[in-house]
Amino acid sequence: MRRYLVRKLIIYILTFFVAATIDWILPRLVSGNPISILLSKMSLQPGTYNATYKLYMNAFGFNRPWWKQYLTFWTALFHGNLGISIYQFPKPVTSVIADYVLFTLALLIPAILLAYFAGNRVGAMAARRKLLDNSVLPVSYLLTATAYPWLALLLAFLFAAGGIGHFFPISGGFSYGLLPSWNWTFIWSLVTHWFLPFLTLFLVAFGGWAIGMRNLIIYELESDYTHYLEALGAPTRLVRRYAYRNAVLPQLTGLALSLGMVVGGAVVTEVTFAYPGLGYLVFQAVGNNDYFLLQGIFLFIIAGVLIANFVIDIVYVIVDPRTRVGISGA
């Protein structure tokens, strides 16, 4: 178990290292560095331009040798310093991120967990049951094949813009007329704004889990231990319970692997509903050429995904006794 977790941890640290390096290298690799783009907006005279360019290059340390820049980058990172945001100048990137992160977490955690549990339950029920299978399976396939932006637009149109009705607000994290405070009006406003983005993320993920669980249960019901149990005359419910517990393991691995995709879906969904989470912030950062913010959010999201991965690893160790005694290092 120790070996398993340590191995995972090393991979996560490596991943963070690679991600940070990509983060650092990209602006230096691309022709037309961020500073020339920033300055091009100021429409300066050539002489002034060159002087300002030099000043900025000095100020940001772009004229130092690359390895020195790289070391400075890591030192700053360890001090929790991600730079200053241009879009919300002069706020530091970390405090801009802090303003938005709660919305994203409130969206992602329920969507991921509920879709996982509901999808697995429904998929397990559908396996080997003709009637349910014929309805759940096609719907699930359609849901996984749906592009996030389309589902978000469709839900917004039908339930918020008046396609069917105006049940939910179409954009924002809470009503613009309210000040954040802990009273019921505000909380209700939060909930109604939260629901449609949540539903988008939930539905797409739900389809994938249902299909996966259905297939896995069918395989489990083919296995020797199932036949043995059946031969002993065990009730179907008991057999299915064993099948479910075995099928959950690969699904748990799948949960870790799906995180990256859900995060991508959250970006698109938050943009559609102008929901003030990190995805929306990333979009704003790109639109406003705010490179420090863009880099900061990227690192922040990677760190979040890695932490979530590690939590799932720990859950895996708890759920699968084999990893505890070291029989299989999944």
Partner 1 sequence: MTVLKTDEAAEKAGAPDAAVSAGSGKPRRFEFLYFALRNKKLLLGLSVVVLFVLFAVFGPLFVQHPMLNYYIPFRPPSSSFWFGTNYFGQDVFSEFVSGLRESLLVGLLGGCGATVIGMTLGFVSGYKGGLIDEALNVLCNIFLTMPVLVLLILVAGFLHHTSGLIEGILIACTTWTWSMRAIRAQTFSLVSRDFVGLARLSGEKSRQIIMREIAPNMSSYLLLVFILSFGGAILTAASLDYLGLGPTNGMSLGIMMQQASDWNSLQLHLWWWFVPPGAAITCIVGGLYLANVGLDEVFNPKLREL
Q: Which of the stretches 12-20, 46-54, 58-66, 231-239 binds partner 1 when contact is defined by CB under 8 A?
A: 12-20
244: helix, strand or coil: helix
- 178, 85 in Cβ contact below 8 A? no
Q: Any contact of residue 144 with partner 1 (CB under 8 A)?
A: yes
Q: Any contact of residue 147 with partner 1 (CB under 8 A)?
A: yes
Interface with partner 1 (CB under 8 A), residue from 112, 126, 203, 263: 263
Q: Which is nearer to partner 1, 11 or 191 (CB)?
A: 11
Q: Which of the stretches 54-62, 86-94, 231-239, 268-276 binds partner 1 when contact is defined by CB under 8 A?
A: 268-276
Question: Following DSSP, what letter does each residue of 139-190 receive, concatenated?
Answer: HHHHHHTS-HHHHHHHHIIIIISSSS---S-SSSSS-TT----SSHHHHHHH
Total residues contacting partner 1 by CB under 8 A comes to: 72
Pairwise CA distance, residues 117 & 136, whole Å: 15
Interface with partner 1 (CB under 8 A), residue from 108, 136, 196, 285: 285
Amino acid sitting at position 253: T
Tokens of 271: 């943009």
Tokens of 120: 């697995």
Residue numbers 24-53 binding partner 1 by CB under 8 A = 26-27, 29-30, 32, 37
Q: Which is nearer to partner 1, 36 or 58 (CB)?
A: 36
- 151, 203 in Cβ contact below 8 A? yes
Interface with partner 1 (CB under 8 A), residue from 98, 286, 315, 318: 286
In whole angstroms, the minimum distance from the beta carbon of 179 to partner 1 comes to: 26
Residue numbers 221-250 binding partner 1 by CB under 8 A = 250
Q: Which of the stretches 14-22, 101-109, 180-188, 235-243 binds partner 1 when contact is defined by CB under 8 A?
A: 14-22
Q: Any contact of residue 65 with partner 1 (CB under 8 A)?
A: no
Q: Any contact of residue 327 with partner 1 (CB under 8 A)?
A: no
In whole angstroms, the minimum distance from the beta carbon of 108 to partner 1 comes to: 11
Binding mask 169-188 for partner 1 (x = CB under 8 A): -x------------------
Q: Any contact of residue 267 with partner 1 (CB under 8 A)?
A: yes
Tokens of 147: 């592009």
Amino acid sitting at position 63: N
Q: Which residues contact 113 (CB under 8 A, 6 or more apart)?
A: none
In whole angstroms, the minimum distance from the beta carbon of 175 to partner 1 comes to: 17
In whole angstroms, the minimum distance from the beta carbon of 87 to partner 1 comes to: 13
Exposure b/e, 223-235, CB count within 10 A at least 16 = b: eeebeebeeeeee
- 86, 39 in Cβ contact below 8 A? no
Interface with partner 1 (CB under 8 A), residue from 44, 84, 190, 218: 218
CA dihedral 321, 108, 298, 31 (to 10 degrees): 120
Q: Which of the stretches 40-48, 51-59, 101-109, 216-224 binds partner 1 when contact is defined by CB under 8 A?
A: 216-224
Q: Any contact of residue 115 with partner 1 (CB under 8 A)?
A: no
Q: Which is nearer to partner 1, 6 or 187 (CB)?
A: 6
Q: Any contact of residue 217 with partner 1 (CB under 8 A)?
A: no
- Long-range contacts for 85-94 (Cβ within 8 Å, ≥24 apart)? 85/290, 85/292, 85/293, 85/296, 86/38, 86/288, 86/289, 86/290, 86/291, 86/292, 86/293, 87/284, 87/285, 87/288, 87/290, 87/293, 88/293, 93/292, 93/293, 93/296, 93/297, 94/296
